[in-house]
Chain A
Amino acid sequence: MKVLVPVKRVIDYNVKVRVKADQSGVDLANVKMSMNPFDEIAVEEAVRLKEKGKATEVVIVSIGPQQASETIRTALAMGGDRGILVKTDQMVEPLAVAKILKAIVDAEQPGFVITGKQAIDDDANQVGQMLAALLGWPQGTFAHSLELADGSARITREIDGGLQTIEVKLPAVMTTDLRLNEPRYASLPNIMKAKKKPIEEKSPADLGVDITPRFKVLKISEPPKRNSGVKVSGVPELLDKLKADGVI
């Protein structure tokens, strides 16, 4: 069974973003970019499936600018087999991402797709579910653990009240949560090997997908600032203050 893993190049999770003064967006000049952390978890899970003999091939896809091929290389160094870059310098909304991925699924026929539960830049938490719906496949979102059997997957999900286990028929889409696994670091030899792995380039037009944005972003602004408060001398002073504020 082939496993498809879409990976997104995002601003590194350690970077504190700055909103541009003209409110046109956030400053992405010279900031460190990395693979979306949830996608690292997705790649790791797919590679483990291959190591356990449950997957035959792990195909990595990214939609984005030329530099997104570096993100694909990172995934290949972790153990992915080959990559597909759907190249565009435009912003791509989640629905368009899902349509592009659907076109790739139609062509590649994977039995399982693993996406991140959310991209940490746009925090949309949509793509995996949208892709599943467009394909008419079941989904297991916010995955905490996975057991793959013949023709079905048992997925335990992180939900608001705790954990829920569902069983879905394959093919299916799964989205990763934080505790599914701990992604490996790519070793130097594997990084070298990844340089020779193939990355095919396509455009959204090749796949017949119109990526014209539907939404209009009017502005990107700073959230309300919190003033840092005071240090209190001890517990009694703290409680006096909280009482005066009427919060206890």
Chain B
Amino acid sequence: MASLVIAEHDNASLKDATHKTVTAAAQVSTPVHVLVAGENCAAVAEAAARIAGVEKVLLADAPSYARQLAEPMEALLLSITDKYDAILAPATTTGKNILPRVAARLDVGQISEILKVISPDTFERPIYAGNAIETLRAPEGKKVITIRITAFAAAGEGGRATIEQIVAASDAGHSKFAGEALSKSERPELTSAKVVISGGRGLGSAENFKLLDSIADKLHAAVGASRAAVDAGYVPNDYQVGQTGKAVAPDLYIAVGISGAIQHLAGMKDSRKIVAINKDEEAPIFQVADYGLVGDLFKIIPELDEELSKRGYK
């Protein structure tokens, strides 16, 4: 039959989590279709149509999809799923919110946050904070899957998919959007940045946490944090890297004043190179770090900033 990918977007731009999900979908079932549900999101549908390997884009443009709330999205998906044998979404907070509802209504289990498609019915996924990898085989029937976006390469551009408008499904209206407070940043997104610099409790305050900014600017890095730093209010929740935050896998991950609890490691140990800066040489973070710098971060961070400037990073 075909697979359906739920596009990740904010009505204005398409996120590359979608391109990555398309890669996974093509390994499960082809052709690949992409659903763009939102409000005034025609530009997003056009961008989706340019993803290589996508045959068709379904566009559901209606006020009820403006925020992709779970209940109307469930109704919309159920109105089209009979044409698909696989439904996939990135394991973002949007995908995780919607897809289990669809799975339950289709009476199938969901396969959460896969790392690899071994064959169209066999998948690898992390369990126990990534300390074990489960290989599981799904039964016959529809597959509902979320993917770990850092584990798949993004599908390229160059596609010329057709765009088909689809009608909104009716929804009971039991939920409504009431506001948001989004972090604004000019920096790359945590989950797609090539360099991530994260701070932990060792930073000591929201004020001190800003020490990382200048280095992030020079390296075009995203800024992340441990749970302890978020709980202490140094940075907002969307900075949290880890088992129950975001999973990242940049080329370079710099952990500053982070001890390296298993829950934190779960979210960053697939990074290509890891640097740890910590004053405690016994800190578990050093067990996964390629390069460790033992010392006071309040001395090392300014030094690092200065040395980067000297070497021409701006």
Contacts and interface: CB of A to CB of B under 8 A. Distances in A.
Interface of A: 11, 13, 16-17, 19, 26, 38, 93-95, 98, 117-118, 120-134, 136-142, 144, 154, 157-169, 172, 177-179, 214-223, 226, 228-232, 234-236, 238-239, 241-242, 245, 247-248
28 contacts: A26-B131, A94-B110, A120-B244, A121-B128, A123-B243, A125-B113, A129-B98, A140-B175, A159-B180, A160-B92, A161-B180, A162-B237, A164-B67, A165-B180, A167-B175, A179-B231, A214-B109, A214-B138, A215-B136, A215-B137, A220-B127, A223-B269, A226-B287, A231-B291, A231-B292, A234-B303, A241-B291, A247-B273
A133 B101 contact: yes
Closest 6 A/B residue pairs (Cβ): A129-B100, A229-B290, A133-B101, A130-B104, A138-B174, A162-B182
B307 A236 contact: yes
Contacts, number: 253
B131 A160 contact: no
Contacts of A165: 177-180
Contacts of B304: 235, 238-239
A215 B139 contact: yes
B307 to A, nearest CB: 5
B291 A229 contact: yes
A17 B128 contact: yes
A233 B194 CA distance: 25
A223 B132 contact: yes
B94 A126 contact: no
Given A17-B131, A126-B112, 15 more contacts: A13-B262, A19-B132, A129-B96, A129-B104, A160-B191, A161-B182, A162-B182, A163-B181, A163-B182, A177-B244, A179-B230, A214-B108, A223-B130, A235-B303, A239-B307
Contacts of A220: 127, 132-135
Interface string B272-314: 1111000001000011111111100000100110011001010
A169 B105 CA distance: 20
A202 B107 CA distance: 23
B70 interface: yes
B244 A238 contact: no
Interface of B: 10, 67, 69-71, 74, 92-94, 96-105, 107-113, 122, 126-139, 172, 174-183, 191, 194-195, 219, 227, 230-231, 236-238, 243-244, 246, 251-252, 262-263, 269, 272-275, 281, 286-294, 300, 303-304, 307-308, 311, 313
Among A117, A127, A238, A241, chain B packs the most CB atoms within 10 A around the CB of A238
Contacts of A248: 195, 219, 252, 313
Contacts of A142: 93, 97
B251 A247 contact: yes
A133 B135 contact: no
Given A142-B93, A162-B236, A228-B288, A98 B137 contact: no
A133 B272 CA distance: 39
Contact of A129 (B101, B109, B137): B101
Contact of B292 (A117, A123, A229): A229
A144 B93 CA distance: 13
Among B10, B110, B139, the most chain A Cβ lie within 10 Å of the Cβ of B110
A130 B231 CA distance: 28
Contacts of B243: 120, 123
Contact of A123 (B10, B129, B294): B129
B180 A162 contact: yes
Contact of B286 (A38, A167, A216, A228): A228
A161 B183 contact: yes
Contacts of A167: 175-176, 178
In this complex, the member of B102, B262, B291 whose beta carbon has the largest number of chain A beta carbons within 10 angstroms is B291
B175 A154 contact: no
A228 to B, nearest CB: 5
B70 A141 contact: yes
B96 A125 contact: yes
Contacts of B104: 95, 98, 129-131, 133-134
